[in-house]
Amino acid sequence: MISQVYKNGFKYAYRTSLLMITWVPVMIVMNEHICYVGKIEGSSMRPTLNPSSKASDWVLLWKWGIRSYNGIQVNDVVLFRSPTNPEKIYCKRVKGVQGDTILTRYPYPREQCHIPRNHLWVEGDNVHSIDSNTFGPISTGLVIGTATRIIFPFSRWMEIPNGGREARITKLDAFVD
């Protein structure tokens, strides 16, 4: 009787271990290359993300295809490593891609900035944000993924809406004409 219980327990442990061993690599690949769930903290993306100071939004972060030529577009919300401190992760909106000329804000030292190849201009929706106006264009290699949808709190389940200002000079000139 005891040997039968021991045998059944061993079979259960063996099956569970086998299941874990086969699914762990799948989950690692999913998190590293396809999608991830990230918590957004801070006020730099207000009012789009974290509209109140009491709660933080959780977003679906899409990683698939961000390294391709058109993987990141203007007005996408991206998570990226800080160019000055790789331990920090920032969440900002893309306001310019390679080849664009941007009308900058204070504290950037020049009035305009031309975005070099494989770089992005990112800004928070909130004017009081540490963004490209502080550290300049960022390399696309620092981008972790694109936030596509707010998934928690459930009352805010939605695609991330467009926001922020138009910063590309070619688009601003079109508004003036």
Instruction: Please indicate whether residue 54 is annotated as part of the active site.
Output: no
Percent of the chain that is helix, strand, coil (3-state, to 5): 30, 30, 40
Considering the candidates 11, 17, 44, 95, report the single residue annotated as catalytic.
44
> In degrees to the nearest 10, what's the CA dihedral of 44, 47, 48, 49?
60
d(CA 67, CA 64): 8
d(CA 124, CA 116): 20
Tell me which amino acid residue 119 is.
Answer: H
DSSP string, 75-91: T-EEEEE-SS-TT-EEE
Considering the candidates 63, 92, 129, 132, report the single residue annotated as catalytic.
92
Instruction: Please indicate whether residue 52 is annotated as part of the active site.
Output: no
d(CA 19, CA 125): 44
Catalytic center residues: 44, 92
